[in-house]
Amino acid sequence: MSDSAFDFDLAVLRKSFSIPVLVDFWAPWCAPCRALTPVLETLAARMAGRFELVKLNTEEYPEIGQQYGVRGIPNVKLFVDGAVADEFAGALPESAVEAWLQRALPSPYRGQLKLAEGLIGAGRSAEAEPLLRQILDAEPGNARAAVLLAHWLLKTAAPETALAVIKHIGPDSDQHDSAEALRTLGRQFELLDHPDRLEESPVKPEYLDAIRNIQAENYEQALEQLIELVRKARGYDGGGARKACVAIFRLLGDGHELTRRYRGQLSNALYV
């Protein structure tokens, strides 16, 4: 799309809710801008359907450039759902721009992912499972879909089945904390089938009962038990009670009422 006579709100912000919009902030006098233009146009054609390219002449629309912090050109910003999701500055070679796009562009299956998240939030995880599997069949590296599916499988399948789904998620992923939480709980759920792996101790029955409560999603009761175990035997199972608490907090999120209530209690139990 050319940059003459257009409505930025309509052409970029509102449009970005249906397809990512790549805005090239440029000016006619800028030689690097002229070098970057054919690169962006080639990639827009090659990746048709993944994003829409909009060129914005900062000489004609300086106020828009100022609003979005453009201090030098070329400056390329990717808009997703009405906001800047990522950007780069300078005239990069085609291979570098393509690699950046592959990282920055949201999954083409994000609509299906949002639908799956909505079903899970409504307590209809069984209906979300086939959607998540379809996403992962088409896009095996989709970490969010993998985490959601693994969480469901921890309730319905053997722990090793769930853990296999997230084995590829490493520290560089934004889903790493969630994956680590599921790995912690998956290993603990395995103890329910193999209690002999735990050392004998007066706290062993209570520890296993707390794990059962986690598995049943009785998180409040589990946290009460686990924090008491931290007070009595914090080193049992390699600090398993503390690790389980942290895993629950990560799954529930920082804003959850149980996380806010029990995180301080865990800290007190650890440092008294």
Q: Per the residue annotation, which of 33, 128, 182, 248 is the catalytic one?
A: 33
Q: What angle do CA 23, 113, 168 make, to 5 degrees?
A: 95
DSSP notation for 4-28: SS--HIIIIIIGGGTS-EEEEEE-T
Where do runs of H (alpha helix) occur along the chain? 8, 31-46, 62-67, 94-104, 110-121, 125-138, 143-156, 159-165, 176-193, 204-215, 219-233, 240-252, 257-271
Q: Is 245 a catalytic residue?
A: no
Bridge partners of 79?
A: 21, 84
3-state secondary structure of 205: helix
Q: Per the residue annotation, which of 30, 135, 229, 244 is the catalytic one?
A: 30
C-alpha to C-alpha distance for 272 and 66, rounded to whole angstroms: 53
Task: Supply the residues annotated as catalytic.
Answer: 30, 33
